[in-house]
Chain A
């Protein structure tokens, strides 16, 4: 089995590269248009199990190949490339569009919004293809939404594995924890070092 890397897989352990799945907040992963609720969580697994089609997989509803997968992370990550293993007989997705750090995207949003990057996918039955990202745009990803608008002609779209390669930083996105809103701000409440001896104190 050939890898896209320029070495053979036996020498180098690929699975350690594809370990971003450990940083996924699995409880909050959700998908739209999945046939059975909750099956989306089964596509995030270790590299070794990517070809394991016996367990659960993500499948769209009958007659509707669109899928939308929302993936939040437990900390900010940098994503270098993405790998998708689809189903056989035309049920593999043919296009992928990604949105970064947007909550609550649904199909109408996905169709109207400009994606941060789009890829044309090939049928990747062996799980050897990876799709590189424009790394500069994927530097601090708190959550990513993947939209699969179409497939290779099958009735439904099946996805067995979504792999993410990259690095995890230990930081969380800047969530402003405490903001104090003042209804009637009074500059004298905010005395700074330069307050005594006249002059304007500027509130920072």
Chain B
């Protein structure tokens, strides 16, 4: 998408009548010029292209830099072949034409088609090259047609003098079955300086090569952009979904190990871990569901243990299993315990619990209007304790009697 003004220098000398490029050198050149103009104007709508001829009666500008493709194509029509090419003058006139371009923001570029032998000295070409470089004009050279050592050498030295950071290029096109334009399409002359090429160039290159393998999904984005886009988007979504699934699976396995350990720890630490988990931003919902599931598991185990009459189950686990609030409220815990004890255990344990004076006094203290220091309350407590002792004695007696 570089903003560029380009001048194309055409060789219409006698050497262009030759038919070694089909249909003739001149025709092949004209096709290439048309293709270049199209590519330039398409890559950036503000690009301008101009054309001049180097041979014939003399160097002549056919069209000054314009973005109107029709004008350019029209001027190529009806050109006459003849005379000798004047490379140096051609390049200098092209430089002048670019200097007077309307939009000074455009980068300057000259594309030269050198088909006939070069009659200038190497030194002169190098001087021209340096002048171009000084005025930051880039130069692309298409070396085709006549092939001799001297010409190649001179053109290479010209390129070396102009080249500034690889903005200028030279392409050697030998005569052969491939058309001149086809060979040029894959060169940096078409694809621009390291930009990866315009869509035009890429599509044209693929069409010329005859293969479809260049595209990701077997669909030419130029031919069917919507389908290509849809395929690409669905591929992205699938990839994203798979990544998310993989991530979740990894998280779950790590979470599972952590959860079981937490379940067996004491209430406080479990509380801490629960709050930690609660504060974790991502996948909190997942955490909650797994927590609940573990809580249910623990409850189940608890119920099993109780039914098997295991007294060894600790207070802590009971507390947390019942509810989150239970840890903070020992009275509530006791009450719950009592209720649990009611449903599963026999009277002996109940009396034991009742005999747990400290717990009882705690409960009584929490009742409104009850003052532990009140003598009547104290008497009541004492009587309860006696009662339980009496009950114990009775039980022992009865069991003894039964034994007897």
The interface of chain A, by Cβ under 8 A from chain B, is 32-33, 36-37, 61, 64, 66, 103-104, 106-108
| Bound: A33/B165 CA distance, A | 13
Pairwise interchain contact A66-B104, C-beta atoms closer than 8 A:
no
Pairwise interchain contact A103-B104, C-beta atoms closer than 8 A:
yes
Pairwise interchain contact B164-A66, C-beta atoms closer than 8 A:
no
Which 7 pairs show the lowest CB-CB distances between chains A and B? A104-B104, A33-B134, A106-B135, A103-B104, A32-B136, A37-B165, A32-B135
- Taking CB atoms and an 8 Å cut-off, the chain B residues in 125-156 that contact chain A are 130, 133-136
> Residue B99 at the A interface, CB < 8 A?
yes
| Bound: A106/B131 CA distance, A | 11
Pairwise interchain contact B134-A61, C-beta atoms closer than 8 A:
yes
Partner of B99, one of A33, A36, A64, A106: A106
Pairwise interchain contact B134-A66, C-beta atoms closer than 8 A:
yes
| Bound: A104/B101 CA distance, A | 10
B residues less than 8 Å from A104 (CB atoms): 104
Partner of A37, one of B99, B134, B164: B164
Pairwise interchain contact B135-A61, C-beta atoms closer than 8 A:
no
A residues less than 8 Å from B164 (CB atoms): 37
Pairwise interchain contact A64-B104, C-beta atoms closer than 8 A:
no
Pairwise interchain contact A32-B104, C-beta atoms closer than 8 A:
no
B residues less than 8 Å from A108 (CB atoms): 99
A32-B134, A108-B99 known, 10 other contacts, Cβ within 8 Å: A32-B135, A32-B136, A33-B134, A37-B136, A66-B134, A103-B104, A104-B104, A106-B99, A107-B134, A107-B135
The interface of chain B, by Cβ under 8 A from chain A, is 99, 104, 130, 133-136, 164-165
Chain A residue at smallest Cβ distance from B131: A107
A residues less than 8 Å from B165 (CB atoms): 36-37
Chain A residue at smallest Cβ distance from B101: A104
| Bound: A36/B167 CA distance, A | 12
Pairwise interchain contact A64-B135, C-beta atoms closer than 8 A:
no
Chain B residue at smallest Cβ distance from A35: B164
Chain A residue at smallest Cβ distance from B136: A32
Shortest distance from the beta carbon of B123 to any chain A beta carbon, whole Å: 14
B residues less than 8 Å from A37 (CB atoms): 136, 164-165
| Bound: A193/B134 CA distance, A | 58
Shortest distance from the beta carbon of B127 to any chain A beta carbon, whole Å: 11
Partner of B133, one of A36, A61, A66, A103: A61
16 contacts between A and B (CB under 8 A): A32-B134, A32-B136, A36-B165, A37-B136, A37-B164, A61-B133, A61-B134, A64-B130, A64-B134, A66-B134, A103-B104, A104-B104, A106-B99, A106-B135, A107-B134, A107-B135
Chain B residue at smallest Cβ distance from A66: B134
A residues less than 8 Å from B135 (CB atoms): 32, 106-107
B residues less than 8 Å from A103 (CB atoms): 104
A residues less than 8 Å from B104 (CB atoms): 103-104
A residues less than 8 Å from B130 (CB atoms): 61, 64
B residues less than 8 Å from A107 (CB atoms): 134-135
A residues less than 8 Å from B134 (CB atoms): 32-33, 61, 64, 66, 107
| Bound: A36/B133 CA distance, A | 12
| Bound: A64/B165 CA distance, A | 18
| Bound: A107/B132 CA distance, A | 11
A residues less than 8 Å from B99 (CB atoms): 106, 108
| Bound: A33/B133 CA distance, A | 7
B residues less than 8 Å from A33 (CB atoms): 134
Shortest distance from the beta carbon of A67 to any chain B beta carbon, whole Å: 10
| Bound: A61/B130 CA distance, A | 10
Chain B residue at smallest Cβ distance from A34: B136
B residues less than 8 Å from A61 (CB atoms): 130, 133-134
| Bound: A64/B131 CA distance, A | 10
